[in-house]
Structure 1
Amino acid sequence: MRFLLTRSWLTGLAAAVAFALVCVGLGLWQWDRRLARLEANQLVVENYTQAPVPAGELVPPPGTAFRADDEWRPVELTGAYLTGATTLLRQRPLEGTNGFHVLVPFLLDEPLAGGEAAVLVDRGFLPAGDEAGSVDVPPPPTGEVTLVVHLRPGEDAFGQAPACQTRTVALTAIAASGCVAPVLAAADASLVDAAYGELVSEQPTTSPAPTLLPPPPVDPGPHLSYAFQWWIFALGGFVGYGVVARRHAADLRAEREEAAAGGPPPPSPDDASTSTGPVRVRTPTGARAVRPRTHLRPTRRRPTAEEEEDALLDAAQHETTVVEVPHHEMPHHDQTRHGRTAVDR
């Protein structure tokens, strides 16, 4: 196994180690994603079904941060919808159907710390209309309305959208948009910029209304199986390296044995004349090579001068001659038309 210390084999071992490190890193990344998914699922299970609390207890005032532990907590809001500031959240499919979420600022009856405030409420899903990018939005209930919403953190801004539409729930950007800012200014209110509400119920109700969003999934996802797959791939690199090294060692051992025995025996004439399959020979490096076997046919030798002379003499000895014989001495059955008989010389 000294060949493993050569440059080429050390390079192969280094490649196997590098491949294993990459696979281990990807497996750990999938493992971290699994832990994050389990933590998020646990938060949903603990918070989603709790009893609603007043807005002043959990809704962060404008300019303050949102506590991650309060995500999915139910909150009760009382106030009025600012219908003129309705914004559509684009490209949010539901159960395979493309559509929009309807976002409407909700002005609270009781001010939060710092003054009048409005909470952006996601009223639910509407399928896209006949024309791409258009939808008929049913109006929300008017007057004083009581809502129950689940608190969600805002999202980062991304991409461009038509007027009164957005691609993410980027609260600061929505508050400054031309569709929302004038309405907030007329109400002398500020939009809560750290969290928004996902509608659970509203009183009074209206019909038609957007479809309420379903609860978030709490399955662990495929991250655990992906992690194990990457770790198995890491072992596979070393297994492949070992298999190749073992085969190479076997070839070298066979080469040494043949060299000690004086090389491979030549094929026998019988085998060469009867076999039609390929002949397997071993190259100097120990690898097996295949060459086609051809039929060995006897070659025709040209006769020598002595052999030709002997052949002529033999032919002369067997020639027949014709002699004259008296007609009365000729046997009856040997007579010929001209009174001749053929006798051997």
Structure 2
Amino acid sequence: MTRGKLWLFGLLAMIAVSVCVRLGIWQLDRSQERRLQNRVVSERGAMAPLSLAALRGQDTVVTHWRHVKVEAVADYAHEAVHATRSQGGSPGVHLLTPITAIDGSWGDTAILLVRGYVYSADARTIDHDKAREADTLSLDALVLSYPPARAERVTLPSNPRAVRLLDHDSLSRIVGRPLAPFLLLALGDTLVRDVTRPARIPPPSLSEGPHKSYAFQWFGFATVFLVGFVAFVRGRRGKR
């Protein structure tokens, strides 16, 4: 191997080491973010549940992850579904049910309730009549924020009431009413007992996830590249 090729090999090895180290640091940053989120979820979960009326006018940054006592009327006729979901390894959808607060505190504005998971072979369509619950819902829920809007197609051509993304404006058009600036995640039994009936969706896990182990893997790859290059150079010198 010529000196020029050796320098090129060394440069590629250093690039690989740098990339692996950067990815390892990124995973450690994600682990830190997860710990901070878990702390917020835990602290707000310990607070007394809010009423739907108490959420009106509140900043969603402050109410995110708060528990809420829901007393509302469900509008199943204008229900949408979040497509291509899964639970327990099975394909399905998440039911997005507009609800109206019984106390009238939200006026004509509906609140979108992520009511649960229902099995769907194509992960797009279900029998909405079989998935109905009581007309008046009384349950505990968790406040969620809508994810940032993305410049992508939201609805699916095969089902105009199915969405790929939880986009506030698109869902408001599907529901046909103004929507509150937050979502509610219904809490309860997450076990799928009947494929036609909704099972509640598990709340966010408080584990730190696999980010630390991924970080150690990337740092390990960086070490392999570095040690391998040094061993290669020493081997060439030994032969000389």
TM-score normalized with structure 1 length: 0.58
Aligned to 1:46: 43
Identity %: 25
From 106, 110, 114, the equivalent of 1:122 is: 114
1:211 Cα deviation from its structure 2 partner: 1.2
Aligned to 2:191: none
Aligned to 1:17: 14
1:132 Cα deviation from its structure 2 partner: 6.8
Aligned to 1:96: 89
Aligned to 1:225: 213
The residue matched to 1:164 in structure 2 has which SS? Answer: strand
Matched, 1:244 2:235: no
Q: Structure 1 pair 246/223, CA: closer, same or farther in 2 (3 Å)?
A: same
Aligned to 1:198: 185
Supply the distance in 2 between the matched residues of 1:54 and 1:123 (Cα, whole angstroms). Answer: 18
Q: Structure 1 pair 59/210, CA: closer, same or farther in 2 (3 Å)?
A: farther
Supply the distance in 2 between the matched residues of 1:102 and 1:43 (Cα, whole angstroms). Answer: 26
Matched, 1:140 2:140: no
Encode CA deviations 1:305-328: one digit per residue, 9 max, x unaligned. Answer: xxxxxxxxxxxxxxxxxxxxxxxx
From 99, 103, 125, the equivalent of 1:106 is: 99
Encode CA deviations 1:11-44: one digit per residue, 9 max, x unaligned. Answer: 3333332222111111111112212222222233
Unaligned 5+ runs, structure 1:
185-189, 202-206, 253-345
Q: Structure 1 pair 19/119, CA: closer, same or farther in 2 (3 Å)?
A: same
Answer whether contact 1:91 1:167 (CA < 8 A) is retained. Answer: yes
1:124 Cα deviation from its structure 2 partner: 0.9
Which amino acid letter does the alignment assign opposite residue 146 of structure 2?
G
Structure with max Cα Rg: 1
Answer whether contact 2:187 2:202 (CA < 8 A) is retained. Answer: no
The residue matched to 2:104 in structure 1 has which SS? Answer: coil
1:165-180 equivalence runs, <5 A? 165-177=162-174, 180=175
Supply the distance in 2 between the matched residues of 1:15 and 1:91 (Cα, whole angstroms). Answer: 40
Answer whether contact 1:83 1:140 (CA < 8 A) is retained. Answer: no
Encode CA deviations 1:285-304: one digit per residue, 9 max, x unaligned. Answer: xxxxxxxxxxxxxxxxxxxx
Which amino acid letter does the alignment assign opposite residue 196 of structure 1?
L
Supply the distance in 2 between the matched residues of 1:54 and 1:243 (Cα, whole angstroms). Answer: 66
1:209 Cα deviation from its structure 2 partner: 4.7
Supply the distance in 2 between the matched residues of 1:29 and 1:154 (Cα, whole angstroms). Answer: 25
RMSD value, Cα = 2.8
Count matched residues: 226
Unaligned 5+ runs, structure 2:
189-193
TM-score normalized with structure 2 length: 0.80
1:49 Cα deviation from its structure 2 partner: 4.7
Matched, 1:35 2:23: no
Aligned to 2:64: 71
Which amino acid letter does the alignment assign opposite residue 122 of structure 1?
V
Encode CA deviations 1:57-111: one digit per residue, 9 max, x unaligned. Answer: 33557xxx521x4322111233322222111221111111111222111112333
Point out the structure with the larger strand share. Answer: 2
Answer whether contact 2:81 2:163 (CA < 8 A) is retained. Answer: yes
Supply the distance in 1 between the matched residues of 2:170 and 2:112 (Cα, whole angstroms). Answer: 12
Supply the distance in 2 between the matched residues of 1:251 and 1:209 (Cα, whole angstroms). Answer: 72
